[in-house]
Chain A
Amino acid sequence: MAVFALAFIAHAYETAFAVRAPHLADSAQGNLRTKTFDYTRTEKVARVATAMMILGFILLFAGVIARGVSAGRVPWGNMYEFSITGALAFTTAYLGALRKYDLRWLGLFVSISVLLTLGTAVTVLYVPSAPLVPALKSAWLVIHVSTAIISGGIFLLANIIAGAFLFLDSMEKKGERAPWAKRLPSLDVLDQLSYRLVAFVFPLWTFSVIAGAIWAESAWGRYWGWDPKETWAFITWVAYAAYLHARVTVGWRGRRAAWLCIFAGSTFLFNYVYVNVWGTGKHTYSGL
């Protein structure tokens, strides 16, 4: 049973990889074609790419579910599981945002990051599925970890958009945008979009931290103990709070805001990678 589930997961990833690879090629080709303004063909390619993204999403979703079934619990017990779920959340955030905004230009970045995350997950972080240690056995696992992962996915999406803003901004400062970049949205749109993503997910992140505190109170006897993970969650929270204030009340826009957004996002990434793998403290569930 477990072996079957594992085989299935491996297969799901293989397919996900295979599915994403042509997507990369397609986007690249699509971008080249813009030179000739062959929009109909680009459009077709882009549609195929999106369809593959959705297929990848479904397979990844099935893979995460299968992992959960094989472990007999929610698949959020170690770093491998966090990573595959994080990749899923990230893909979901992209596809969700795609329904509302034309973000297909982002697909390239999204698929590369998902590919890298999954690659690291299967090669470096992989551990066989196993039951949870007693402290993790709580309904709060589902609430705390799922909200943290969703927040992370959206923070990173906002980060990539802020990065694209900086890149395109410096390109425009030097002169005109390169032909392939003309298709991308205007700087204003990017600026607004990354802000809106952060504003949308900041309450969720706050909730995730508070849910973690409630859980810590029942498992470890205190709701806040400046454990490295908690400290960095706090730093991320403060950084995004500063970002929101800087935008709403002080009126930061453009480059400065984008840098602050990227800084805040990197505190989140740092927390995820550094504290999980090399850090000490009570949040060392990476299984490595």
Chain B
Amino acid sequence: MKETVPEIGAVGLLRFVWRQLTSMRTALVLLMMLGVAAIPGSFIPQRTQNPVAVSDVFINSPTKALWYQRFSLFDVYASPWFSAIYILLFISLIGCVLPRAFEHYKASRALPPVTPKNLSRMEFHSEWKGDGDELEIARQWFKKNRFRVRELDGSISAEKGFTRETGNLFFHLALVLVLIGVSLGSLFGMRGDAIVNVGERFINTPTTYDSLSFGKLFNEKTLPPFSIEVDKFVGKYDPVTNAPLDYTMWVTVKSEPDATPEKKVVKVNSPLTFGSTRVYLQANGYSPIVTVRDPVGNVGYQGPVPFLPQDSNLSSTGAIKVPDITPQLGFVGSFFPTIGRANGGGGISVFPEALDPRLFLAAWTGDLGLDNGRPQSVYRINTDVMKQIGLKSLSPGETYTFEEGSITFETYVPWVNLQVVRDPGKSYALVGGIVAILGLLASLFTRRRRIWVSVSKKKVEVAGLAKNAAPGLELEMAQLAKALGRAE
């Protein structure tokens, strides 16, 4: 026997799916799913926030990492399944809100409904014998309390609280605006980091960045042509807890190559702004300034070399590569702004300010591997094919001399990490957020209700109906009844 299914056709099916999707129940389930789906991202390290922790998982438990990877668990908030939930939710939301907005618009232009015949059936009702002028008083009372009024023969039908639905609709539409803002930001935004030594200039071109990522619809030609010269940087720290107290950077900026230079001060909470691009002071460290010479005394390298901080006291590590001396020289180094002795005999920094700086160097000779065209980190040296010359600890001004040449630790400068962010969508998100709150307030604190006053020769009747079981109508009606002259 064949089962018979009523034929609904493609259009019918589509309509069915649409109705299911825009139903409140589905929306609610999607909303809860969104909440649940956001959870794993707070336990599993995310690539965008903590790439180091992600690669740790790959090293320590490759199988687990592979499975995480398959389900996009390292990029939860950009994953297909997370996107699917919120896209469905927003479609559902729009499908629910737009028809309601249309209906609300019609309703707000229509007059309140005709007074029902039997007012005594209403939720709140009272009647008494009046003296005939109640209708006029009621009209004024409604006007004073800003009700929408429909005057009928012998009765008034009044309604108030449309703001509730208006606020509700604005709240939901504002959420759509927030989503638009977020997607604009990710499509047309850019984000980059550059380490700049104090005294150097940063020019906003792709090659000056250490890392740079663009939104899908933004390209490097549209980078605004500003430049920033870092004049001075001061980091202050608490002498007891070593916790940072303040970071301040003094810069000279030019918004265009021909513009007049401007002096500015940048702090952690006050970035530089160039249109929709902002520049943040995000991290800092030290660059030892070194001079490397060959055995004859020719300078092979001179200048600051940024070292990367490894702990909160700014113990830093880095590499100095000198390809211009033959054979090539390489130095693997650690910089300690305030030296203290570790138990194991190695160096350790005991304070983040440079009170007693020391540079530890391991000197190597051989092939640095720079000529094979493979990109390599500027902070590390592959010493597999090199020969170690020796180890040395240097204070500023000291020189380490060896057979293949010498290195002088001249002094040091701080460096700052400038984070350049362009997010053209954030103002939309902000406006969306503000409208959402206003809409929410309007919808949660407005009560929609109807009040009818009917006056006949025999009696005055007042009846009310509160939608959404909103409280307070009884009190309001008591006030009206009092105004109409009802005896207590």
Contact B444 A235 (CB under 8 A): no
Residue of A nearest to B281 (CB): A134
CA A134 – CA B35 in complex, angstroms? 32
Shortest Cβ gap from A150 to chain B (Å): 15
Residue of B nearest to A226 (CB): B77
CA A140 – CA B269 in complex, angstroms? 10
- Determine if A7 is an interface residue (Cβ-Cβ < 8 Å): no
Shortest Cβ gap from B138 to chain A (Å): 30
Contact A210 B437 (CB under 8 A): yes
Contact A226 B27 (CB under 8 A): no
Shortest Cβ gap from B100 to chain A (Å): 11
Residues of B within 8 A of A48 (CB): none
Residues of A within 8 A of B73 (CB): none
Complex interface bits, B221-264 against A, C-beta within 8 A gives 1, otherwise 0:
00000000000000000101101111100000000000000000
CA A106 – CA B385 in complex, angstroms? 75
- Determine if A227 is an interface residue (Cβ-Cβ < 8 Å): yes
CA A228 – CA B39 in complex, angstroms? 9
Complex interface bits, B298-317 against A, C-beta within 8 A gives 1, otherwise 0:
00000000000000000000
Contact B241 A206 (CB under 8 A): no
- Determine if B421 is an interface residue (Cβ-Cβ < 8 Å): yes
Contact A135 B429 (CB under 8 A): no
Q: Which of A214, A225, A242, A250 contacts B49 (CB 8 A)?
A: A225
CA A10 – CA B41 in complex, angstroms? 40
Residue of B nearest to A232 (CB): B42
- Determine if A223 is an interface residue (Cβ-Cβ < 8 Å): yes
Contact A226 B31 (CB under 8 A): no
- Determine if A133 is an interface residue (Cβ-Cβ < 8 Å): yes
Shortest Cβ gap from A214 to chain B (Å): 7
Residues of A within 8 A of B434 (CB): 210
Residues of A within 8 A of B238 (CB): 130-131
- Determine if A248 is an interface residue (Cβ-Cβ < 8 Å): yes
Contact A206 B440 (CB under 8 A): yes
Interface footprint category on B: 35 or more
Contact A221 B32 (CB under 8 A): no
Shortest Cβ gap from B256 to chain A (Å): 23
Shortest Cβ gap from B388 to chain A (Å): 37
- Determine if A179 is an interface residue (Cβ-Cβ < 8 Å): no
CA A202 – CA B195 in complex, angstroms? 42
Residues of A within 8 A of B282 (CB): 221
Shortest Cβ gap from A81 to chain B (Å): 15
CA A234 – CA B238 in complex, angstroms? 34
- Determine if A239 is an interface residue (Cβ-Cβ < 8 Å): yes
Contact B38 A238 (CB under 8 A): yes
- Determine if A186 is an interface residue (Cβ-Cβ < 8 Å): no
CA A130 – CA B240 in complex, angstroms? 10
Residues of B within 8 A of A137 (CB): 246, 267-269
Shortest Cβ gap from A269 to chain B (Å): 15
- Determine if B50 is an interface residue (Cβ-Cβ < 8 Å): yes
Contact B24 A245 (CB under 8 A): yes
Complex interface bits, B3-28 against A, C-beta within 8 A gives 1, otherwise 0:
00000000000000000000011011
List residues 135-164 of chain B with CB under 8 A from any CB of chain A: none
Given A199-B444, A217-B426, A280-B50: A130 in contact with B39 (beta carbons within 8 A): no
Shortest Cβ gap from A271 to chain B (Å): 9
Residues of A within 8 A of B34 (CB): 238
- Determine if A241 is an interface residue (Cβ-Cβ < 8 Å): yes
Complex interface bits, A119-144 against B, C-beta within 8 A gives 1, otherwise 0:
00000000000110111011010000
List residues 214-264 of chain A with CB under 8 A from any CB of chain B: 214-215, 217-228, 231-232, 234-235, 238-239, 241-242, 245-246, 248-250
CA A73 – CA B271 in complex, angstroms? 23
Contact B48 A219 (CB under 8 A): no
Residue of B nearest to A229 (CB): B42
Contact A130 B429 (CB under 8 A): no
Contact A134 B419 (CB under 8 A): no
- Determine if A203 is an interface residue (Cβ-Cβ < 8 Å): yes
Contact B38 A130 (CB under 8 A): no
CA A137 – CA B246 in complex, angstroms? 9
Residues of A within 8 A of B247 (CB): 134
Given A130-B241, A202-B440, A250-B25: A238 in contact with B269 (beta carbons within 8 A): no
Q: Which of B38, B182, B268, B468 contacts A234 (CB 8 A)?
A: B38
CA A210 – CA B178 in complex, angstroms? 11
- Determine if A207 is an interface residue (Cβ-Cβ < 8 Å): yes
Contact A226 B48 (CB under 8 A): yes
Contact A135 B269 (CB under 8 A): yes
Contact A218 B271 (CB under 8 A): yes
List residues 264-280 of chain A with CB under 8 A from any CB of chain B: 267, 275, 279-280
List residues 262-281 of chain B with CB under 8 A from any CB of chain A: 267-271, 278, 280
- Determine if A281 is an interface residue (Cβ-Cβ < 8 Å): yes
Shortest Cβ gap from A131 to chain B (Å): 6
Residues of B within 8 A of A238 (CB): 31-32, 34-35, 38
| Interface of B toward A, CB cutoff 8 Å | 24-25, 27-28, 31-32, 34-35, 38-39, 41-42, 45-46, 48-50, 53, 76-77, 182, 191, 238, 240-241, 243-247, 267-271, 278, 280, 282, 419, 421, 423, 426, 429-430, 433-434, 436-437, 440-441, 444, 468
Apart from A225-B49, A235-B39, A279-B42: 15 A-B pairs, beta carbons within 8 A: A130-B238, A137-B268, A137-B269, A200-B444, A206-B433, A206-B440, A210-B433, A215-B269, A226-B41, A226-B77, A234-B35, A235-B35, A242-B28, A245-B24, A249-B24
Across the A-B interface, the 10 shortest Cβ-Cβ residue pairs: A238-B35, A228-B42, A210-B433, A134-B268, A221-B280, A231-B42, A138-B269, A203-B440, A221-B421, A235-B35
Q: List 22 A-B contacts (CB under 8 A).
A: A131-B245, A134-B244, A134-B246, A134-B267, A135-B269, A203-B444, A218-B269, A220-B280, A221-B191, A221-B421, A222-B421, A223-B429, A223-B430, A226-B48, A226-B77, A234-B35, A238-B38, A242-B32, A245-B27, A248-B468, A267-B35, A280-B50
| Interface of A toward B, CB cutoff 8 Å | 130-131, 133-135, 137-138, 140, 199-200, 202-203, 206-207, 210, 213-215, 217-228, 231-232, 234-235, 238-239, 241-242, 245-246, 248-250, 267, 275, 279-281
